[in-house]
């Protein structure tokens, strides 16, 4: 399996066609998995936003104040408002805002970026990354006849472990996971580690070559990845009713009110 | 960057030398990152265990009973005892046991495997995966003169997102993370996504080629990964006092008592 960055991509602007930018710069093959950093999908979709367009609600003011009190960090209540508007549910208000985006991804600050964003204060995550992945895939197929898998990725933190890593926000042309249930191990015993979230593993691999800085490489190609002969699973985000950690965080937030 | 599995490894037994098994089957280069599934490190270290050697404590009996009551799943109290003994702290007792291993990794069932374990009921995680990574690295260097980086990995679940993915338990010869703090983005602005947990991203990439089943490929080589000119960070597991999710889970468990 090979992982390489697409070189020479320009600064992406509202209205740009990501599929076109990619196919102009690299020869794709069937079976390739194209990992596209959400930052350029957001830029192409016009998800830039200015702080002055947000009117802080009571909750936003409270969030900004608690973060200042708890973390000693200045938080702009307009940024808090932007985060709230991107979230279906806020799970933790302080010492940082952890929420569920409208498309089901749980992350800090609703994944709003302030890095690599020219001419705007904020860059919001794509509204529907799965639809974006599908559109990029269709755009590549139209132009080249090749239909690679596409993953829209972000760099995101996680509980328990320090640091961020690449994750999948939306995908098309491959399943979210290999489902090993019913398969056997080397001893003929049914498998326990049952569902392998390959889209997240692919996003993580891609992130190693895209990086976080001024590299200018928001697109990585994974070549010769074999999904293999496995059952597939499509769901990546936990069902809220079965997510113990989400429930614990809800109660914990309330405990601080 | 290239990721490939080492082919032809035998069933690993107590006392086997993992470094020797690997160098006999593949030509390594400086700069390679060797990702070794913890399962074979545990096997080589003699971490097989039998259920009959565990005497269930009161807590183990309570855990088995609560899991049966809450999840409707039969749990052997001796397995619960094994999990407790591997954990420095149990965070959640039911519907599944989530705990912190002695070396700081938070996972379900203390990462004890019942798959791919011949002639034993259980396979415990390595006691000190960082030391194992260092020893494998030294063993490879002794035999070949090449000193690759080594990561001992496991497949593990995570909050919020379904499915498991490869993670690093211990590593040697490379830092845990790229620390981007102080670096600049494309606009000259200081970076926000500051610490990139590359050992986890490498473990995830490796897991795509090792798989979870009867593939017989516990070792993957990542070739031509460039850490790059970045500051480094060594810590991968969150400081308990700063880990909000861990705190919330502690309180939540207590709430059920
Ligand atoms: N060519 C190009 N590279 C960009 C652009 N925006 C970000 N990047 C690069 O894409 C990579 C990932 O950027 P990052 O801000 O971490 O994106 P995110 O992970 O989706 O939030 C880095 O190498 C950036 O330099 C852009 O508009 N054009
Ligand atoms: N050759 C060989 N392969 C093994 C052995 N044990 C496990 N494997 C393979 O190693 C890979 C990872 O196994 P898994 O049980 O998921 O390990 P874990 O992720 O460390 O828990 C699979 O391809 C297994 O078939 C062994 O002793 N010898
Ligand atoms: Mn981002
Ligand atoms: Mn990033
Ligand atoms: Mn395991
Ligand atoms: Mn595994």
Of the candidate CATH numbers 3.40.50.1820, 3.40.140.10, 3.90.1660.10, 3.50.50.60, the domain formed by A48-125 belongs to 3.90.1660.10
Distance from CA of B144 to the nearest CA of A (A): 25
Tokens of B197: 């947990």
Mean pLDDT of A97-103: 97
Q: Which atom of ligand 2 is nearest to the CA of B37?
A: 20
Q: How far apart are CA A171 and CA A199, in angstroms?
A: 8
Task: State how far the alpha carbon of A17 is from the alpha carbons of A6, A40, A222, A224, B21, in Å.
Answer: 15, 10, 21, 26, 49
What pLDDT does residue A256 have? 57
Q: How far apart are CA B4 and CA B62, in angstroms?
A: 44
Q: Which atom of ligand 2 is nearest to the CA of B42?
A: 20
CB contact under 8 A, A11 and B186: yes
Q: Kindly state the DSSP code that residue A242 receives in the 8-state scheme.
A: G
Inform me whether the pLDDT recorded for A254 exceeds 70.
Answer: no
Distance from CA of A116 to the nearest CA of B (A): 5
Measured in degrees and rounded to the nearest 5, phi and psi for residue B197 equal: -75, 80
- Domain ranges within chain A, ordered by starting residue: 1-45+129-242, 48-125
Nearest to A213 by CA among B11, B120, B19, B178: B178
- In this structure, chain B runs to a length of 257
pTM of the predicted model as reported, rounded to 2 decimal places: 0.97
Mean pLDDT of A92-114: 96
How many helices (H) does chain A have, and how many strands (E)? 7, 13
Q: Which atom of ligand 2 is nearest to the CA of B38?
A: 20
Task: State how far the alpha carbon of A161 is from the alpha carbons of B130, B167, B246, in Å.
Answer: 16, 10, 11
Vertex B127 angle, CA B62 and B77, to 5°: 20
Q: What is the pLDDT of residues B191-241, one digit of tens each?
A: 876 899 999 999 999 999 999 999 999 999 999 999 999 999 999 999 998
Find tokens 């098994």 and name the residue: B21
Mean pLDDT of A111-133: 93
Which ligand is closest in space to the CA of residue A108? 3
Q: Are the C-beta atoms of B48 and B14 separated by less than 8 Å?
A: yes
Q: What is the pLDDT of residues B31-74, one digit of tens each?
A: 999 999 999 999 999 999 999 999 999 999 999 999 999 888 88
CB contact under 8 A, B116 and A186: yes
List ligand 1's pocket residues with C-beta within 6 A.
A 9-12, 37-40, 43, 113, 115-116, 154-155, 210-218; B 186, 193
A:B CB pairs within 8 Å: 244
Measured in degrees and rounded to the nearest 5, phi and psi for residue B188 equal: 85, 5
Q: What is the pLDDT of residues A208-244, one digit of tens each?
A: 999 999 999 999 999 999 999 999 999 999 999 889 9
Which helix (H) or strand (E) covers residue A108, if one does? Answer: strand A106-108
Inform me whether the pLDDT recorded for B255 exceeds 70.
Answer: no
List ligand 2's pocket residues with C-beta within 6 A.
A 186, 193; B 9-12, 37-40, 43, 113, 115-116, 154-155, 210-218
Give the confidence band of B252 by pLDDT, cuts at 50, 70, 90.
Answer: confident
Q: Report the residue from B202, B204, B245 with minimal CB separation from A200.
A: B204
Give the confidence band of B256 by pLDDT, cuts at 50, 70, 90.
Answer: low
Which helix (H) or strand (E) covers residue B108, if one does? Answer: strand B106-108
Q: Taking every pair of C-alpha atoms in chain A, what is the biggest distance, in angstroms? A: 62
Of the candidate CATH numbers 3.30.1330.100, 3.30.1360.30, 3.30.565.10, 3.40.5.90, the domain formed by B1-46+129-242 belongs to 3.30.1330.100
**Which residue in chain A has the smallest CA separation from B113?**
A192
Q: How far apart are CA B67 and CA A187, in angstroms?
A: 27
Q: How far apart are CA B89 and CA A158, in angstroms?
A: 20
Inform me whether the pLDDT recorded for B116 exceeds 90.
Answer: no
Tokens of B221: 């080589």
A1-45+129-242 sits in which CATH class? alpha beta
User: With 0-12 CB in 10 A as exposed, 13-18 as middle and 19+ as buried, what is B228?
Assistant: exposed
Q: What is the pLDDT of residues A133-176, one digit of tens each?
A: 999 999 999 999 999 999 999 999 999 999 999 999 999 999 99
**Which residue in chain B has the smallest CA separation from A96?**
B244
Q: Report the residue from B1, B198, B238 with minimal CB separation from A162.
A: B238
Task: State how far the alpha carbon of A86 is from the alpha carbons of A108, A129, A243, B16, in Å.
Answer: 11, 14, 21, 53
Is A45 a known ligand-binding residue?
Answer: no
Q: Are strands B165-172 and B149-156 parallel, antiparallel or unpaired?
A: antiparallel
Q: What is the pLDDT of residues B140-196, one digit of tens each?
A: 999 999 999 999 999 999 999 999 999 999 999 999 999 999 999 888 888 876 899
What pLDDT does residue B3 have? 98
Distance from CA of A65 to the nearest CA of B (A): 18
Q: How far apart are CA A174 and CA B58, in angstroms?
A: 47
Q: What is the pLDDT of residues B62-107, one digit of tens each?
A: 999 999 998 888 889 999 999 999 999 999 999 999 999 999 999 9
Q: Are the C-beta atoms of A110 and A49 separated by less than 8 Å?
A: no
**Which residue in chain A has the smallest CA separation from B118?**
A187
């Amino acid at each position: 399996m090979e992982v390489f960055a697409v070189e020479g991509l320009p600064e992406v602007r509202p209205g740009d066609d990501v599929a076109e930018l990619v196919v102009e710069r690299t020869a794709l093959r069937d079976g390739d998995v194209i990992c596209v950093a959400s930052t350029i999908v957001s830029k192409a979709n016009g998800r830039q936003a200015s702080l002055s367009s947000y009117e802080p609600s009571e909750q936003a003011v409270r969030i900004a104040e608690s973060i200042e009190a708890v973390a000693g960090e200045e938080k702009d209540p307009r940024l808090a408002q932007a985060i709230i508007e991107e979230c279906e549910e806020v799970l933790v208000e302080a010492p940082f805002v952890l929420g569920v985006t409208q498309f089901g991804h749980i992350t800090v600050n609703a994944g709003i970026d302030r890095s690599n964003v020219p001419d705007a204060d904020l860059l919001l995550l794509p509204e529907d990354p799965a639809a974006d992945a599908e559109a990029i895939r269709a755009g590549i197929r139209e132009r080249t006849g090749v239909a690679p898998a596409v993953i829209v990725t972000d760099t995101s933190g996680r509980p328990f472990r320090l640091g961020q890593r690449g994750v999948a926000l939306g995908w098309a042309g491959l399943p979210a996971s290999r489902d090993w249930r019913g398969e056997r191990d080397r001893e003929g015993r049914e498998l326990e580690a049952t569902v392998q979230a390959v889209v997240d593993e692919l996003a993580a691999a891609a992130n190693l070559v895209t990086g976080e800085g001024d590299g200018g490489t928001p697109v990585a190609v994974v070549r010769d990845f074999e999904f293999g002969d496995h059952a597939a699973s499509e769901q990546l985000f936990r069902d809220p009713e079965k997510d113990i950690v989400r429930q614990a965080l809800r109660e914990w937030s309330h405990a601080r009110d």
